[in-house]
Amino acid sequence: MDAINDLVTSLGGQLWSWIVLPVLVVLGLYFTFRSGVVQFRMIPEMFRTLTNRTPTDNEGRPQSVSAFQAFTISAASRVGVGNIAGVGTAIAIGGPGAVFWMWTMAFIGGASSFIESTLGQAFKVRDKDGFRGGPAYYMQHGLKARWMGILFAVVLILCFPLSFNSLQANTISATISGSFGGEVGWIPWVVGGVLAVLTALVIFGGVRRIASVSQAVVPLMALLYLIVGLVIVGMHIERLPEVFASIYTQAWGTQEVVGGTIGAIIMVGAQRGMFSNEAGLGSAPNAGATAAVTHPVKQGLVQTLGVYFDTFLVCSITAFIVLVSTPDLANAERGIVLTQNALVSSLGSWSNILLSIIIFLLAFSSILGNYYYGESNIEFINAKRGVLTTFRVVVVAVVFLGSIASADLIWSTADGIMGVMAIINLVAIALLSGIAFKLLKDYSEQRRAGLDPVFTRARLPEATGIQCWEDELSVTGPIPVVASRRSTRS
């Protein structure tokens, strides 16, 4: 089994090193320059659109989930145990310099996230809960390649709701077991049962219930972790200038820990960052497409903010917890153990329980976000009610089994599968990026005119395959068009 795991790890690493990351960087830079550095210059717009009013239907009800709820669904999936274990691994291998490259890839990836999520909105379709969409949908309707959409959907289902959900459940179980000394054999079974029940209660309620739970859990999770991080940094405030200096100076390979070369530092920082924030990988557009907004660009901006939330906030909290608490990284243990040791050294052994609570919130919210990605793609392949019900039962079973299983091989396999998924999506958004740039131009022109942008497909007649966006009334609901487009300037 160890030999198989090593082989899968090696193949997955080569896929990311030689194909996925170079393509992500090249396309990210291209999108950055073509969009006029949209991921930086439109940061104020990201916060403005995050709280936009949700368009309503003819009965005055929200057409679908809000921009903020869609943001929390994608954040729920993005922000998981990788923000703790992945960052710990990156620092243990590449030293503080790996954090710089995580930040750099988040900034570059922000442009890719904008493109894919804008396209997800543009080519979304209607369903009983409002809207759904994502890469499979813009592959079918934008590229006229349903085969490509089905391939992407199958790979995503194997990766997120099955493999990654098993791993999230396993991490919750292992962390709680560790809090009891790791010797109580019945704990994983109890944890698995509780997790399975909680997961079933949420996912059988559909996307609106998932959105409601995510809307409550994600901010709580982020706030709790931020407070912990600030307390620990405050306890070691004298080390903060040294930590910042090490992040920037060691990014260039001058004092790396284990990596040995600048290439290794860049690779581990960039790879772990991309695993965490998922920019350009094709996952977040599945959540972004559910939102009811008046222009596709709005959710593209909101989902870009999600990349920053994941990396610049949550991943950075982990990095600072580790770096201010662990001056000597030589022979540091990788993964979640490094973060756990940093917490215990600063706060005492009781912090193991605190970490268990944080891990539970991180991992359970990820289970919900990952599940929804699968639901959207299951419905793309086959929209029959019985198929979706079967899928939900399978996900609940996977959560239970993941709590009691060994996870090493699944981690390695899932990383490789996600690399394949990323390549398929990157090809699609490269081919469709021209539409996203035209949508951005349309949005910017309306904003310069003092309007709250509203898109209809008549504004972009060359884009065939758009399923929604028929007219302004269908976007804004019964609200008068004049009111929906009035200036937002003060």
- Contact between 38 and 440 (Cβ < 8 Å): yes
pLDDT digits (tens, 9 = 90+) for 420-442: 899 999 999 999 999 999 999 99
Between CA 352 and CA 357 the distance in angstroms is 9
Kindly tell me if the per-residue pLDDT of 487 is higher than 50.
Answer: no
pLDDT score for 109: 92
Between CA 163 and CA 370 the distance in angstroms is 10
Which of 369, 366, 301, 338 shows the shortest CA–CA distance to 121? 301
Please, what are the domains in the chain? 2-55+63-446 (1.20.1740.10)
pTM: 0.88
Between CA 174 and CA 272 the distance in angstroms is 21
- Contact between 425 and 280 (Cβ < 8 Å): yes
294 versus 404: the higher-pLDDT residue is 294
Kindly tell me if the per-residue pLDDT of 265 is higher than 80.
Answer: no
pLDDT score for 184: 55
pLDDT digits (tens, 9 = 90+) for 366-403: 888 889 889 889 989 987 888 989 999 999 998 888 87
Mean pLDDT, rounded, for 36-48: 94
Question: At 48, which helix (H) or strand (E)?
Answer: helix 43-50
202 versus 258: the higher-pLDDT residue is 202
pLDDT digits (tens, 9 = 90+) for 86-140: 788 788 887 888 888 889 989 999 999 999 999 999 999 988 778 889 999 999 9
Which of 333, 351, 332 shows the shortest CA–CA distance to 343? 351
Kindly tell me if the per-residue pLDDT of 480 is higher than 50.
Answer: no
